[in-house]
């Protein structure tokens, strides 16, 4: 996404998968809370516009959804948008998905192009959960993302479809932004987690351990496990992922902040010559 000159904007992370039920929502809410615990401003966009369940996973009774935002689109600025977000006690703010699947059609490209940059001006990160696979809507979110977390597990069908999705993302020139996440990596399975990089041609995935009891309890009671199960291996893996993501941003910010000597000289010359 293009950056307005001189305006700081946050990073947009999209969490996607080729198959449903692999843990996108669980990872979205826990990553968001983990980043928030590091005093980073975070918002979540529930981009599973038909069957979004981020609010449920965080036990939020959302007064507004993206549908209400879209009705205000012409008058929307960052402050009005902020008033439509639900506030979780952790500090994470959520723009919920519409309450009925048929309203997903209201979420047009034009709406997303207006809403997402406004979310990014107010937050250091905006994390989008997405619908399954490569629909128009999820692709639109992936195109706008700075980073794509592609979630897989060790099941044959998921791996097959993840491979196809990677190939398509490659054709669309989006693969460079992808980081693979192998969820339930310690699950007993014919395919071992260590085989996944070779199978999918993705080096250095992020591995999240298997813990169905904590995962399902977390989703069912609506408390992200990084809040109340912080000492478990599952939570530790999310904190580690949050650390990797935020340190990567610090590095790119430092790089951006310090233009090279030549760039500085060139800009000075242009200013002098009145080209700016
Ligand atoms: N690391 C994990 N270990 C065990 N079970 C998991 C893990 N991650 C997700 N699950 C389980 O997988 C199911 C689907 O998770 P969910 O986040 O709703 O997936 P999605 O959003 O991709 O459809 C839930 O029952 C959840 O408890
Ligand atoms: Mg989900």
What DSSP letter does each residue of 138-150 carry, written as one string?
A: HHHHHHH-SEEEE
Question: Furthest-apart CA pair in the chain: how many Å?
Answer: 67
pTM comes to: 0.90
Mean pLDDT of 126-146: 97
Assess whether pLDDT exceeds 60 at residue 274. Answer: no
pLDDT for res 248: 75
Higher-confidence residue: 130 or 266? Answer: 130
Q: How do residues 68-114 score in pLDDT, each as one tens digit? A: 999 999 999 999 999 999 999 999 999 999 999 999 999 999 999 99
Q: Closest Cα partner for 253 from 124, 148, 147? A: 124
Whether 11 and 125 have beta carbons less than 8 Å apart is answered as yes
What residues sit around ligand 2, an ion, with C-beta below 5 angstroms?
Answer: 24-25
| In the predicted structure, residue 210 carries a pLDDT above the cut 70 | yes
- Cα(248) to ligand 1 centroid in Å equals 26
- 47 in Cβ contact with 130 (< 8 Å): yes
At 88, list the tokens: 């979780």
Q: Give the mean pLDDT of the chain.
A: 91
Distance 107 CA to ligand 2 centre (A): 18
Neighbours of 133 (CB within 10 A): 16
Residue 267 scores a pLDDT above 60 = no
Look at residue 175 and tell me whether its pLDDT is greater than 50. yes
> Where do we find the tokens 């992370």?
13
Q: Which two tokens stand for residue 17?
A: 């998968």
């Amino acid at each position: 996404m293009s950056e307005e000159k001189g305006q700081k904007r946050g990073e947009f992370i999209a969490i996607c998968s080729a198959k449903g039920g692999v843990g996108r929502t669980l990872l979205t809410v826990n990553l968001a809370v983990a980043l928030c615990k590091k005093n980073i401003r975070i918002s979540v966009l529930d981009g599973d516009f038909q069957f979004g369940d981020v609010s449920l996973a965080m036990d939020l009774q959302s007064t507004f959804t993206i549908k209400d935002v879209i009705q205000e689109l012409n008058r929307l600025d960052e402050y009005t948008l902020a008033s439509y977000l639900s506030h979780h006690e952790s500090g994470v703010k959520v723009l919920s998905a519409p309450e009925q699947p048929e309203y997903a059609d209201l979420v047009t490209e034009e709406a997303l192009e207006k809403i997402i940059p406004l979310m990014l001006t107010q937050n250091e990160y905006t994390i989008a959960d997405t619908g399954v696979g490569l629909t128009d809507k999820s692709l639109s979110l992936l195109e706008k993302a700075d980073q794509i977390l592609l979630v897989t597990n060790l099941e044959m069908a998921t791996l097959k479809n993840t491979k196809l999705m990677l190939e398509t993302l490659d054709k669309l020139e989006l693969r460079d932004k992808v980081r693979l996440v192998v969820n339930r990596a310690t699950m007993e399975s014919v395919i071992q987690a260590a085989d996944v990089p070779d199978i999918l041609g993705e080096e250095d995935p992020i591995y999240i351990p298997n813990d169905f009891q904590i995962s399902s309890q977390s989703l069912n009671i609506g408390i992200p496990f990084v809040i109340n199960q912080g000492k478990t291996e599952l939570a530790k893996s999310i904190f580690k992922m949050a650390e990797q993501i935020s340190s990567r941003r610090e590095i790119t910010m430092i790089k951006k902040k310090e233009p090279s000597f030549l760039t500085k000289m060139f800009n000075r010359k242009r200013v002098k010559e009145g080209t700016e």
